[in-house]
Amino acid sequence: MNGSGSALAERHGIHGTIPADLAEVPSGAEQFSPLVPGSPSLEVVAERGLASMIVLAPPGTLERRYVLALSLKALRIGGTLVALAPRNRGGTRLHGELAEFGVAATETARAHYRICACVRPERLEGIADAIAAGGPRFVEATGLWSQPGIFSWDRIDAGSRLLAAHLPEFEGCGADFGCGVGILARTVLQSRRVTALGLVDIDHRAIDAAKRNIADSRASFQWADATATATTGLDFVVTNPPFHEGGGENRALGLTVARAASASLRKGGELWLVANRHLAYAPVLRDAFTSADTVVEDRDFRVFRAIK
């Protein structure tokens, strides 16, 4: 094959949303983030199958090292890796972590980011250990399968715990928006009057874990943005909606989930939602629903019941 044909066959990858002013993304680069529904999995890319990779490195140590290790493994020898992160969310650790993998990287700083660029050497160090540490695992403390990077991956979030403790015995067809590893869904499915429950999450790792944690024919699983689902006519929705994005607080996320729940419910259907006390959900719930009331609250959270 001539040089032109070889270039056409090259694969380039990205992981996450890369700031356009910090790194140039090659034309046709494939997205491998588990937070972008429909993306192929970086885990199944053939070893040495990519010519380049650009990674917006996650803030969590185990997840970040896992993604860096998978990216290096996927690169051909001589392939290029650019890894970047805000300096206060893992960026200051990138250079040292790449060095631990046997990679010599150059480092620059721009717009509060640290940016490391390197070439994949023939020999890598510690890759298998990093992949094992950041991969799916059974968490003894929760009795559930999970993976670093999933929200509250190694513990039951206090908000979910409060909501689960006060859920009624549902009946009919419902959904768990932002299902995570399936904590709320497991409680909902204790009711034999529930005929179907759709678990929806934007994180592919969460959906994979939930499938392992819930062996119930009434459950279905969807890797999707809950705010963009076309589901209608549901009897109930439960949710512990997110309010963080990219490491920062985004209060609009949870409010958008609440509005999506309203659109998904039948008239008279119920939304059960838990939220941090400092988030102003009540006005939005009262605007999108016929009624909305606080069921219970503690020092940190409120549980709402809203009826369409």
- The domain that contains 290 carries what CATH number? 3.40.50.150
pLDDT of residue 242: 77
Q: What is the pLDDT of residue 278?
A: 84
Q: What is the largest distance, in Å, between two alpha-carbon atoms of the chain?
A: 69
Same domain, yes or no: 83 and 183: no
Predicted confidence at residue 69, as pLDDT, reads: 98
Give the pTM.
0.92
Residues with pLDDT less than 50, the chain: 1-8, 244-245, 247, 249
Q: How many domains are contained in the chain?
A: 2
Distance, in Å, from the CA atom of 41 to the CA atom of 74, rounded to the nearest integer, reads 11
- The dihedrals phi and psi of 5, each to the nearest 5 degrees, come to -65, -40
Clarify whether residues 55 and 171 are in a common domain.
no
- Look up residue 239 and give its amino acid: T
pLDDT digits (tens, 9 = 90+) for 194-212: 999 999 999 999 999 999 9
Specify whether 193 is located in the same domain as 128.
no
User: Which residues neighbour 257 within 8 Å (Cβ) at sequence distance 6 or greater?
Assistant: 177, 178, 226, 227, 239, 241, 242
Instruction: Examine the domain organization and report whether 113 and 192 are in the same domain.
Output: no
Q: Do residues 62 and 145 both lie within one domain?
A: no
Q: List, in order, residues 6 or more apart from 86 with CB less than 8 Å away.
A: 59, 112, 113, 114, 247
Instruction: Give DSSP secondary structure letters for 25-49.
Output: PPTTPEE--TTSTTPPPGGGSPTT-
Cβ neighbors of 273 (< 8 A, separation 6 or more) are 163, 238, 239, 240, 241, 254, 258, 261, 281, 285, 303, 304, 306
State the pLDDT at residue 302: 95
Identify the domain containing residue 120 by its residue range.
3-133
Question: What length does the chain have?
Answer: 308
Q: Do 149 and 290 reside in the same domain of the chain? A: yes
**Are 173 and 276 in a shared domain?**
yes
Residue 206 and residue 91 in one domain:
no
* CA 179 centroid distance within chain: 11
The pLDDT of residue 252 is 74
Question: Which residue among 133, 162, 193 closes a domain?
Answer: 133
pLDDT of residue 4: 39
Instruction: Mark whether 80 and 169 lie in a shared domain.
Output: no
| Same domain for 292 and 149 | yes
Residues 117 and 162 in one domain: no
